[in-house]
Chain A
């Protein structure tokens, strides 16, 4: 059993400050963005030109089509496109 002193406890609590709120919220909203992600992936499968634009510059391609471009959505979409 580890025995903790007050200073050690303080140091360990301090070692994990909160992650930026926006990052946490974006990651939490991933399931909610799933329908849109599914739609983009389905469209990329059916439309080679759209897929090429996504692969060349994901963020610009999404912006041009009016899709949401949060870091969480971009990360999820990169993964989905890579696995296809």
Chain B
């Protein structure tokens, strides 16, 4: 628009900010997600992705506030439904880069079926799980990744339940890119987020994102995390072994990095086989708008 009219396009950096005041707790792991994701988006824009073609989708939880803090298209979905909304957005306009932020609560409890089916279908979207093992926004209830013994508002005598390994579950469901990052390590998060967004197919970066207020795991994680070296994420046996190495409850070593990459047909690409011609989205939108006006 601006370029065509002889005006320089505003530097993306200037418009990726918003008027919103950040209300995460001081020390919140979400800052790391934000500070890794924004430069990745700016990098994509510098490399030619239109800012207008980026959509962030999230829902309810502290993670969801990220929508207010990034100056791109955002869609605030119902609790747990952001992956389903994102899949719809991507199918409606495959040109869009659709990135979902969920918590372990919204993404792996309320929305577990959606994330598994998106993995099964290999929808070309990226899911960043803000995995802190607690419902932080509602001030400290046990969630799907909370370990047994956790004392919170809903489990005053300690949680009785075991967490499950979300990456193993997603691997079985068919996810074609799986990685794990940690909120104490922005350079790695940047690499993983970029890889995941550029991966053709369904990608998940489980981000161990520490809730300093209700479940501070910094010390425990600092002792246990290590970055993968010499790991071949395209080797199924190696991938599965590394995915299973830490079960999300024991004290074992916690691998960070790209765990698994598979090549699978991307959902929607097969539609061409049913005689659906590739749609010129811009022209189609103009047509729809004209018919509505």
Tell me if chain B binds chain A.
no
Instruction: List the interface of chain B (C-beta within 8 A of A).
Output: none
